[in-house]
Structure 1
Amino acid sequence: MPSLTADVLAVFALICAMAAAQMIRLRRSGPARRGQVIFNGGVLLALGLAIACALPILSHLPWTELAEEASEQAIAAIQLLHVAYVILTL
């Protein structure tokens, strides 16, 4: 059975890809709109809808397991960055 975190990350990646595509489309639309890229074209609406769709799922998540897994992943990432720093500064 796949991990719940993998499913959540897959949905998050799809949402980020959609938001990136919207922002790229808005940036290519012209120089007059560059100052307000996020507020034009429904990017905020799409992100708000994605968050609203995720709220019912969030109430059923096992938060302790998720927090433990996230902290383990954060510690592993910090250790990896530390090793990379040590190797690069030799």
Structure 2
Amino acid sequence: MAALVFVDILAGILVILGFHIGFRKSFLRSLRTWRLRPTSPEVATASEFEELASVFRIVGVMLMAFSFTGACFANLIVYYSAGGPP
């Protein structure tokens, strides 16, 4: 049962992370600039993020969908293996 709680918590974290990757570009920019110094030439410009916006959106939505589906399947497997409905 503790493993199921771990799977559910991990899936919840991945859903939130996928949402931020897919729909919040400012979150990704802040992660990038937080890791690098603002004066560093490696800091990505806004145009680079605009070019990759569709890729980030696809990756974020896929991460949300797969983690949610994985948690649902894990819960259903535990439910029916524990003697669910007759």
TM-score range, shorter chain: 0.3 to 0.5
Q: TM-score, normalised by structure 1?
A: 0.36
Higher relative contact order (CA 8 A, sep 6+): 2
